[in-house]
Homo-oligomer: A and B are copies of this chain.
Amino acid sequence: MTTPRRGSGATAARVLDTAERLVQTRGFNAVSYADIAAEVGITKAALHYHFHGKAELGAALVNRYTARFTAALEAIDRDLTATPAKIAAYAGIYVDVLRDHRMCLCGMLAAEYQTLPSPMQNAIVNFFDINEAWLEAVLDDGQQKESAHYRGSAREAARMIIGSLEGAMLVARLHDDVTRLEITVDQMLTTLSHPTP
């Protein structure tokens, strides 16, 4: 018999699922303990049992999101080899998030960055660092194999891709229009597949 730790049980998982969706749609500062508790079907006090405070819940949120994202990147590395296919799959993650009427969790939190507790800030930066590093490696490999073409360093190209996806998502959500992101992705992939003049 093992004693489950706080923030790790089945209820905690439901709390995280609910909080994640709410934060991705409204932003961290517009989501309250009362909102989450009501949707999960428990009281605020019970929520405080699972996550001591909002800062702790927020950090757990980002860390779980990053873990899921990292797992998705590893899956891409397992299943695909060509750089263009990998980048397409990467962009597909963003499209799927937007299809669910959500903003990227860390893109949303990036906007609120200055108001967030530092554990959350560090977790957010970490998320983008991991994304950058993964994309950089993929792009670098693609350049060597001449299957991907871009200007500047692989790191710079990686940053451009992340920025373009996050920004396209941000604006597409205003119109509830997934095609805005999809078109950006298509243009990006097309540009990447042609040699730079």
Interface residues of A (CB under 8 A from B): 25-27, 29-30, 103, 107-108, 110-115, 121, 124-125, 128, 151-152, 156-157, 159-160, 162-175, 180, 183-184, 187, 190-191, 194-197
Contacts and interface: CB of A to CB of B under 8 A. Distances in A.
A103 B165 CA distance: 17
Given A128-B174, A159-B184, 8 more contacts: A30-B112, A128-B171, A163-B164, A163-B167, A166-B171, A167-B170, A191-B191, A194-B196
6 contacts: A29-B30, A107-B170, A108-B111, A125-B175, A163-B167, A170-B170
Copies of this chain in the oligomer:
2
The 8 A-B pairs at the shortest CB distance, nearest first, are namely: A167-B167, A163-B168, A111-B111, A163-B167, A166-B167, A30-B115, A29-B29, A164-B164
